[in-house]
Chains A and B, each alone.
Chain A
Amino acid sequence: MNGFEVMRVDNGEVSVLRIKGFLDAHTASDLEREIQRLLDQKRFKIVVNFRELNYISSAGLGVFMGFIEEVRGNKGDIKLTNMTPKIFRVFDLLGFPTLYEIRDDEQQALQSFNNQK
């Protein structure tokens, strides 16, 4: 049974990861692997689209914490988009909105990367 999926779409220098299903202590490693693959390919501009994610626990949030330093150290960023109110609440409770750029949609996040050039 597969409760979590990641779909990657590259858009110029930016890679978009569309995540789907539930992100918990069991599936966090799938996302970790996908982000690690991006870093191995020297792709540090990352957008994660949460539109089809219906659940996240702290193990899922931990994935973003684990990579953000390396990503920003390489002039990149991880921008988060399309969170449902339920998902946003978890990020908000842990104070993430002050440390991560959270946008309404992919377009805004791509724009924001372009403006940084």
Chain B
Amino acid sequence: MKLAVKNQRTKKKFHLRIPSQTEYLEIIREFVSRVARKVGFKEDDASKIELAVDEACTNVIEHAYGGDGKKMIDIAIQVDYPGQKMSIIITDQGRGFDPSKLRAPDMKKYLQEMRVGGLGVYLMQSLMDEINFEVKPGPKNQVKLVKYLMNNQRQK
């Protein structure tokens, strides 16, 4: 595990590189929620960010890398001021998928059919303000999750 912190005036960057294994999801969650709280997100939004990142990393571990625990996941966080947003970019070098086939699932149908897959993507979309996939199987797959701090404050 490599943890680097870089301080800038308008931007702060945090980076975690961690083996692709479910047992480390708790470390990923801890890392992301600690940073979120530190930069000013309320508990409620910090826990949304934490869950969205868990879902993205679980997808990488189970699908992109197909359970190969020797592979690595990169989690880069960027906090922008004064835009006041937190972006989390999760990168893997595994199997990609076709993002055009990615739609918000019909939850009612999903639950009736008791399908488990796809829930994570739906959650990520519900919990974050923006979500963006960039897929180049092998070289680099990325999912970018964004949460605005301003929204956070308005809601309170």
List the interface of chain A (C-beta within 8 A of B).
3, 22, 24-26, 55, 57-59, 61-62, 65-66, 68-69, 86, 90, 93-96, 98-99
Contact = CB atoms under 8 A, between A and B. Distances in A.
B123 A25 contact: no
Nearest to B47: A86
B116 A57 contact: no
Nearest to B123: A58
Contacts of B68: none
Given A26-B23, A94-B122, A58 B55 contact: yes
A96 B123 contact: no
B78 interface: no
Contacts of A65: 111, 114-116
A71 B138 CA distance: 41
A96 B119 CA distance: 12
A100 B86 CA distance: 35
B111 A66 contact: no
Contacts of B29: 24, 55
11 contacts: A3-B26, A22-B26, A24-B29, A26-B23, A55-B51, A57-B51, A68-B114, A69-B114, A86-B44, A93-B122, A95-B107
A62 B123 CA distance: 13
Contacts of B114: 65-66, 68-69
B55 A57 contact: yes
Nearest to B124: A58
Contacts of A62: 116, 119
Contact of B107 (A24, A59, A69, A94): A94
B119 A58 contact: yes
Q: Can you list the 3 inter-chain pairs with the closest CB atoms, starting with the nearest?
A: A26-B22, A58-B119, A62-B116
